[in-house]
Amino acid sequence: MRSPTSFAGLTVVALQVLATSLLAQSEPLVNRAVSIPRVNAQVEIDGVLDEPVWQGAAVLRGFTQYLPVDGRPAHDSTEVLVWYAPAALHFGIRCYDSNASVRATLADRDKIEGDDYVQILLDTFNDRRQAFVIGVNPLGVQSDGILRDADRRAGSGFSAGGSGAYTIDLSPDFVYQSKGRLTGSGYEIEIRIPFKSLPYQADREQDWGLNIIRRVQHSGFEDTWSPVLQANASFLSQSGALTGLAELRRGLVLDLNPETTARVTGERATSGWAYSGPDPELGGNLRWGVTNNLTLSGTMNPDFSQIEADVARVQFDPRSAVFFPEKRPFFLEGIEHFELPERLIYTRRIAAPIAAVKLTGKVSGTNVALLSGVDDQTSSATGSDNPVHNWLRMRRDLGGQSHLGVAYTDKIDGADYNRVPSVDGRLVFGALYSVTFQGAASFTRSGGTVTNAPLWNLAFSRSGRTFGFTSSFRGVHPEFSAQGGFISRSDVVNASFAPRVTLFGRAGALLESWTGSVSMSGAWDYDRFMAGNIPDDPKLHLNGAFGLRGGWQVGTTLVIESFKYPPQLYSDYVIERTTSAGVDTIPYTGTDRLSNLDLLVSLTTPRFQSFSGNFRIIYGRDENFYEWAPANVFFLTVDINWRPTEQLRVNALYNHQQYIRPSDLSTVGMRRIPRLKLEYQLSRSIFVRFVGQYDAVVQDSLRDDSRTNDPILIYDAGSDSYSRAGREVSNDLRVDWLFSYRPTPGTVFFLGYGSSLEEPGAFRFRRIGRVNDGFFLKLSYLFRV
């Protein structure tokens, strides 16, 4: 048996040979640059470009298509006017189209994905690694975030895609003004971006990276001002530029954001229903622009921002934890600076902070981020200490699109600690190829015992227009601990290789693009990999993605897998055996290996005027983790968006997960989660929202289905005994109401009510009983100097 070290070495050599044989120069880039006028003038942001200053603005034309097929002239004309005043950058955008074809709703902030829209990408440090995204729909509704440079995605796993679309993190919010209006020839947008809303270089005269993206929903096309080719490992390196920006006046950047929150919570009591609260809490955030490129922020008792329940996530493998995103404003600001290939920094680990301070920015080509926070005693393992978190992240730009970074996290909880240093980087070469790597180690003291353990991650990708691939090699030691981060699964080694081929149809054809990919991967328990064993869980996924005219997307995946018995999951299982001598228990050993064969089919509709939807079905033979036996599985996901009017939005989401025993066609486990969200937008800043989520779970009495059919007993630590794994049923309902007034980021008024309920019979809606409920109030105001 070849050792893991030699296997990894041969893999790297093979990938290098493959890279050399496939090396080809990408098509030449057409990077555009424009010098825009500086005018000491003010205009009214009303969506009407009628002031004289617009007559002298620089004009950007000649958009080309990026998706679904790059390099073609844009089907719809776009004209962008740009100029800047000493304190702000101004854009006037004319999008030509049939008025009847324009998709436009009065949406909430960051909810314009179903509309036509324009996104301005501003790379204020001109490093082609990160851009601030300013998005606006035809009515002026805003959507903003961060676009970080990354490789083109190749379809793998349960993803049958490969379109190469970039990813935008919509978490950050920026303060800017925008208005839009429909016209007889399409729509017009007017935008003013204050310089104090964005960090940028300290030079007296500077260039900014720029690109502009236009999304046309009725055709499904995406156009860019500076041409972007899919045969390139970098999206942002193909941006154009605003040149010669001089004497920018940012002024004093000082934001004070006081807030107050109050909660009234109720739960069942021995005599009726008991409420506690409101217990109002005062807190706030302070943001100071130390320089143009460094920002210092602090918070006291920050808002928990849990104005509605997290979306229930369906778990496929109980060995992997479920991730939930950050929602608190203080931690969202500048969160992009803490990003790593492996999520060693996860801000939700500071669960109930008393105070925190943060420094973020970029100095001489180096991104710097430092965060220190003191958590409440309820987050301490002892219950009497205040855990202290210290996180440091630095990333240095190298030539081209490459970078090298370091990170350090430190959690101190009484006498215990967890410290994790990390080194990472991304090397881009030949325009098509990139290597991403990370190595980390954890040093943990708990109860007087110190443990050290490693983590590593290596990925190699080719981002070609027609042919590309991704490959990765990742390992997490069973004792690796990142108490300031999120590692979905430890004690695992993963290796994968996923080549893809993309073909494009002619202009106007029914089939616009087709991507076929093969994902080959293996997963080992860490020690089994180090011992040189074959993969515990080998997987082969055959993927196909079809892009059809008008924005239709169809995906298929044939799943061929094999899973080895994981004894650590069943250490508390035994089997009850009845013999002529009586009842006895025997150890649970489980079938050594289960084989899977599934088919996945997905469908994504275009963004119609009032409707869009996503559908996914998985059916076949898969592992039944309840009993570690084969099962016929049926998974269904339906996600429908309906916009019957300009102001009303309806989202219906349904997840269905069912495991059926092949032996007698009985259901061993089933989970059904319908979720309904209704939003009514009274104005751009006011909306009312209702969210209802039902979670119905049933688990049959467990038995040794793959071997003896005898009952399974599970150890109960509370009673220090084994008991039969009998039938379990839960039917939980969560309801949330919210009134929201948010004229600008930081200034909000939230009034909400949430209630958790349950009933004995699934979806009967009879004998429903409250478990707990509560009212929530938040007031905050942004004072900007």
Taking domain 31-246, whether its CATH number is 2.60.40.1190 is answered by yes
Rg, Å, the chain Cα set: 28
What is the C-alpha to C-alpha distance for residues 678 and 675, in angstroms, rounded to an integer?
A: 10
Give the model's confidence band at 310: pLDDT under 50 very low, under 70 low, under 90 confident, else very high.
low
User: Model confidence over 285-302: pLDDT tens digits?
Assistant: 999 999 999 999 999 988
pLDDT of residue 11: 37
**SS3 at position 671:** strand
- Judged against a pLDDT cut of 50, whether residue 6 lies above it is answered with no
Spatial separation of the C-alpha atoms in residues 47 and 409, rounded to whole Å: 47
pLDDT tens by residue, 54-79: 999 999 999 999 999 999 999 999 99
Residue 10 has pLDDT above 80, yes or no: no
- Which pLDDT band holds residue 273 (cuts at 50, 70, 90)? confident
17 pLDDT band, cuts 50/70/90, is: very low
Residue 407 has pLDDT above 70, yes or no: yes
Does residue 252 register a pLDDT over 50?
yes
pLDDT at 329: 84
Phi-psi sector, 447: left (phi>0), alpha (psi -120 to 50), beta: left
pLDDT confidence tier of residue 34, bands split at 50, 70 and 90: very high
Rounded distance between C-alpha atoms, residue 663 and residue 509, angstroms? 48
How many helices and strands, by DSSP H and E, does the chain display?
Answer: 3, 44
Q: Mean pLDDT throughout 88-100?
A: 91
pLDDT for 277 = 86
Across residues 341-351, what is the average pLDDT? 94
pLDDT of the residue at 5: 38
pLDDT at res. 435 = 96
DSSP string, 70-127: TTSBPSS-EEEEEEEETTEEEEEEEEE--GGG-----PPTT--TTS-EEEEEEETT-S
- Report the sign of the C-alpha dihedral through residues 340, 342, 345, 348, in that order: positive
Q: Which residue has the higher pLDDT, 120 or 11?
A: 120
Indicate whether 636 pLDDT > 80.
yes
User: Is the pLDDT reported for residue 25 higher than 70?
Assistant: no
As to burial, measured by CB atoms within 10 angstroms (0-12 exposed, 13-18 middle, 19+ buried), residue 620 is middle
Statement: residue 579 has pLDDT above 90:
no
**From CA 532, how far away is CA 13, in angstroms rounded?**
19
Whether the Cβ atoms of residue 489 and residue 477 lie closer than 8 Å to each other: no
Indicate the pLDDT class of residue 589, thresholds 50, 70 and 90.
Answer: confident
> Residue 22 has what pLDDT?
37
Mean pLDDT of 147-167: 57
Query: DSSP code of 711?
Result: B
The per-residue pLDDT for 272 is 80
| pLDDT for 333 | 87
Backbone torsion region of residue 60, taken as left when φ is above 0, otherwise alpha when ψ lies between -120 and 50, otherwise beta: beta
CA distance 713 to 585: 9
C-alpha to C-alpha distance for 278 and 281, rounded to whole angstroms: 9
- Is 574 a residue whose pLDDT tops 70? yes
State phi, psi for 206 to the nearest 5 degrees: -150, 160
Q: Which two structure tokens, joined as six digits, stand for 721?
A: 């005994």
The kind and range of the H/E element at 14 are helix 4-22
**How far is CA 757 from each of CA 269, 311, 679, 732, 773, rounded to the nearest angstrom?**
15, 16, 22, 6, 9
Among the listed residues 469, 470, 525, the one whose alpha carbon sits nearest the alpha carbon of residue 494: 525
Cβ contacts of 662 within 8 Å, gap of 6 or more: 621, 630, 631, 632
The 10 Å Cβ neighbour count of residue 507 is: 11
- pLDDT tens per residue across span 658-692: 999 999 999 999 999 999 999 999 999 999 999 99
**Cα three-residue angle 198-204-210, rounded to 5 degrees:** 45
Q: Tell me what the mean pLDDT of segment 117-130 comes to.
A: 95
pLDDT at 155 over 50: no
CA distance 550 to 470: 29
Q: What share of the chain is helix, strand, coil (3-state, %, to 5)?
A: 5, 55, 40
**Global model pTM greater than 0.85:** yes
Please, are residues 110 and 76 in contact by the beta-carbon 8 Å criterion? no
Beta strands at 33-35 and 240-246: parallel, antiparallel or unpaired: parallel
Distance CA 777, CA 280 (A): 9
Is the per-residue pLDDT at 162 higher than 70? no
DSSP-based three-state secondary structure for 382: coil
762: exposed, middle or buried (Cβ count in 10 Å: 0-12, 13-18, 19+): middle
pLDDT of 269 reads 83
pLDDT at 307: 55
Grade residue 441 by pLDDT with cuts at 50, 70 and 90. very high
| Position 1 pLDDT exceeds 90 | no
Residue type present at position 61: R
Buried b or exposed e, range 83-115, using 16+ CB within 10 angstroms: bbbeebbbbbbbbebeeeebbbbbbbbbbbbbb
Residue 173 CB-density burial (10 A; 0-12 exposed, 13-18 middle, 19+ buried)? buried
Average pLDDT over residues 711-731: 93
Dump pLDDT digits (tens) for 751-782: 999 999 999 999 999 999 999 999 999 999 99
> What is the per-residue pLDDT across 493-526, written as a single tens digit (0 to 9) for each?
999 999 999 999 998 899 999 999 999 999 999 9
Q: Which residue has the higher pLDDT, 558 or 27?
A: 558
Contacts (Cβ under 8 Å, ≥6 apart) of 210: 34, 120, 121, 122, 123, 225, 226, 239, 240, 241, 242
Which H helix or E strand runs over 602? strand 593-604
- Name the strand (E) or helix (H) holding 329: helix 329-332
- When the pLDDT of each residue in the chain is averaged and rounded to a whole number, the result is 90
Instruction: Give CA–CA dist 114/605, Å, rounded.
Output: 11
Domain boundaries, the chain: 31-246
Burial of residue 230, with CB atoms counted within 10 A of its CB: 0-12 exposed, 13-18 middle, 19 or more buried: buried
> What is the strand order of the sheet 186-194 is part of?
58-60, 78-85, 88-96, 186-194, 177-183
pLDDT band at 635 (very low <50, low <70, confident <90, very high): very high
Question: What is Dmax (Cα atoms) for the chain?
Answer: 100
281-295, 416-430, 579-593, 679-693: the lowest-pLDDT one: 579-593
What's residue 314's pLDDT? 76
Per-position DSSP letters for 234-269, written without gaps between them: -SGGG-EEEEEEE-------EEEEEEEEEEEEEEEE
Residue 223 has pLDDT above 50, yes or no: yes
CA distances from 120 to 147, 209, 301 (A): 11, 10, 34
Strand blocks (E) in 149-280: 168-169, 177-183, 186-194, 205-216, 221-224, 240-246, 254-269, 272-276
**Where on the phi/psi map is residue 164: left (φ > 0), alpha (ψ -120 to 50), or beta?**
left
Q: How far apart are CA 760 and CA 742, in angstroms?
A: 40
